[in-house]
Amino acid sequence: GEDVEQSLFLSVREGDSSVINCTYTDSSSTYLYWYKQEPGAGLQLLTYIFSNMDMKQDQRLTVLLNKKDKHLSLRIADTQTGDSAIYFCALVKGNTPLVFGKGTRLSVIA
């Protein structure tokens, strides 16, 4: 299977919370990232978490890491239409390059 897996689509109503999930296979990953990609644009680094952390919060974003289940999630509170984009989970081990999932397309319904 893929090294990093994500569900392809998520649809939420404006003002609700969004939770985007990611599972991975390499338990020795050191850093785990969330990137946002809007149409026609490059990838924007949203946040990242070190593997010795369980949670990281940054304004509307909360990252949860469950190392036992190899599961990473990104929660976006009070989701806005401007949050509509593709969200990529990525991870790195040591000096190896980033390995990306296929991305989750988030659609926010007004």
Structure tokens at 80: 């806005």
End-to-end CA distance of the chain: 36
CA distance linking residue 51 with residue 44, whole number of Å: 21
Stretch of 10-18, 66-74, 75-83, 87-95 lying at the interface with other proteins (CB under 8 A): 87-95
Nearest to 73 by CA among 97, 38, 46: 46
Binding of other proteins by 48 (CB under 8 A)? yes
Write out the two tokens for 54: 């369980």
Task: For residue 35, state whether it binds other proteins (rule: CB under 8 A).
Answer: yes
Q: Which residue number, 3 or 16, has a Cβ lying nearer to other proteins?
A: 3
Judged by CB under 8 A, the residue of 7, 21, 26, 31 near other proteins is 31
Q: Which of 72, 79, 85, 88 binds other proteins (CB under 8 A)?
A: 88
